[in-house]
Amino acid sequence: MAEHHAVPVEDALLIAINLYGISSAHGRHRARISVRLTTRLDVAWMVIVPLNAEASPFRLVGDELSLGGEAVGTIDRVSADEAVGGYFRDGGRAATLNPNARSRCVGCAFCPNTLEAAADPRLAEERELNELLAALVEQHPRHDLTELREVTVSTGCFERERAAVDHLIGLRDVLSAHGIGARIGFLTSVIRTSGAFEELAERVAPFVLRLTAECFDRRDLLLKASKAALTTEEMPLVLERAMRAGHATSFTYIVGLDRLADLRAGVAELMPFVTEFPNFQVYQAHNSIMAGLRADGSDSLEYYLQARRDIEDIVGPTGLRPVAWECYRPLWYFTFGEEQLVSPC
């Protein structure tokens, strides 16, 4: 299948691990694991997958990952994918904050947040944000938050535009007080108006809007009300407003919820208004209800390899390319089209 789609077998394996999960004795719904494939032991990939997928063709025993009884990789580390107040990525140069109780955000039918353990409080005041940063200093690899180049706010619990903008203004004030000039990124679908983006330009920039598109079809069925209220037709307009205010733009999208034709049409509509490579995630079904939400055919690896090629055809001419640390369930690892993303071994 990898040969048919002209992708490295390593990329096909890693996509399949995301799609099928892993059967193991761990019994966790989701876990963060560090994977090294036997053919490329020089590179470790952090992925988030269910480890209790009994029907998966992948089996983890000890630290050995096998497929059909043949060893295909090793697992360096397994940790629970808990919803916490914040964590680091990109070797400590980026941080993700969950300041508004992400684990208590419910509503999107496909979201696994309700399966996670929760340790992420709702932070409503600057004092609490200061306390979170103080804790993160102790966790940082070099105990220096001024190294941060991007701070991403990842939460679905801001139901109103005003509340989201106020929080971002408060976050910028706290970061500035700590000498942190990092760009703030926000995953959201509630900030939509030109006035809001202009206010963010004045008081929060540098800023990147990561529009939570998620899917283009069946939005009323799959998304909670605040996300579904943003129509597919409005998405390009929101991204354009952000661009006009001087912000960087991107979007998040769950590959597996739409038919491929809808995927192609939707991505093509958004790309003229995007400045950063979008976050395309492999859809993971953690139970039979979530499996029932899949688009036809998206339970097969073939669907995702075709989606990968389709997205490359659309996004390739823009010059934007995947950034490994930005997504834990991606479609790209070692290559993007014919381009190498990782140096040869």
Whether the pTM exceeds 0.85: the reply is yes
Percent over 70 (pLDDT), the chain: 89
Q: Is the pLDDT of residue 301 over 60?
A: yes
Per-residue pLDDT at 175 exceeds 60 = yes
The DSSP output letter for 52 is B
**pLDDT tens for each residue of 243-283:** 999 999 999 999 999 999 999 999 999 999 999 999 999 99
Is the pLDDT at 3 greater than 90? The verdict is yes
Closest by CA position to 177, among listed 247, 138, 141, 127:
127
> What is the Cα–Cα distance from 153 to 132, expressed in whole angstroms?
13
Instruction: Give the distance, in angstroms, between the CA of residue 239 and the centroid of all CA atoms in the same chain.
Output: 18
Where does the chain show beta strands of DSSP type E? 31-37, 40-49, 58-61, 64-67, 70-80, 83-84, 86-89, 94-97, 118-119, 150-154, 183-188, 207-214, 248-255, 279-282, 335-336, 339-340
286: its two tokens: 């953690």
**252 forms bridges with which residues in the sheet?**
212, 279
Q: What pLDDT does 120 receive? A: 38
- Residue 254's identity, in one-letter code, is I
317 preceded by cis ω (within 30°)?
no
Closest alpha carbon to 17 in 63, 70, 53: 53
The neighbouring-strand residues paired with 59 are 23, 66
Confidence of residue 133 (pLDDT cuts 50, 70, 90): confident
Displacement of CA 236 from its chain's centroid (Å): 20
Both tokens assigned to 341: 């993303």
Q: Are 53 and 30 in contact (CB under 8 A)?
A: no
Calculate mean pLDDT across residues 158-174.
Answer: 91
Radius of gyration of the chain (CA): 20
Alpha helix stretches (DSSP H) within the chain: 9-20, 126-139, 161-177, 194-203, 219-222, 225-228, 235-244, 260-270, 288-291, 301-315
Cβ neighbours of residue 337 closer than 8 Å, sequence gap 6 or more: 312, 316
Q: How far is CA 107 from the centre of its chain?
A: 18
Q: What is the pairing mode between strands 279-282 and 248-255?
A: parallel
CA 152/CA 175 separation, integer angstroms: 12
**In the prediction, which pLDDT does 28 show?**
66
The pLDDT score that the predictor gives to residue 108 is 53
pLDDT of residue 104: 45
Bridge-partner residues for 49, per DSSP?
31
- Using pLDDT thresholds of 50, 70 and 90, give the confidence band for residue 122: very low
| Antiparallel, parallel or unpaired: β 94-97 and 150-154 | parallel
Mean pLDDT of the chain: 89
State pLDDT tens for residues 52-71: 899 999 999 999 999 999 99
Residue found by looking up tokens 């998040």 in the block: 252
C-alpha span between 67 and 19 (Å, rounded): 14
Please tell me the distance from the alpha carbon of residue 83 to that of residue 118, in angstroms, as a whole number.
5
Q: What is the pLDDT at residue 121?
A: 45
Tokens of 267: 């991505």
Tell me the three state secondary structure of residue 124: coil
* Tokens 């960087």 -> residue: 248
| Cα-Cα-Cα-Cα dihedral sign, residues 222, 83, 327, 173 | positive
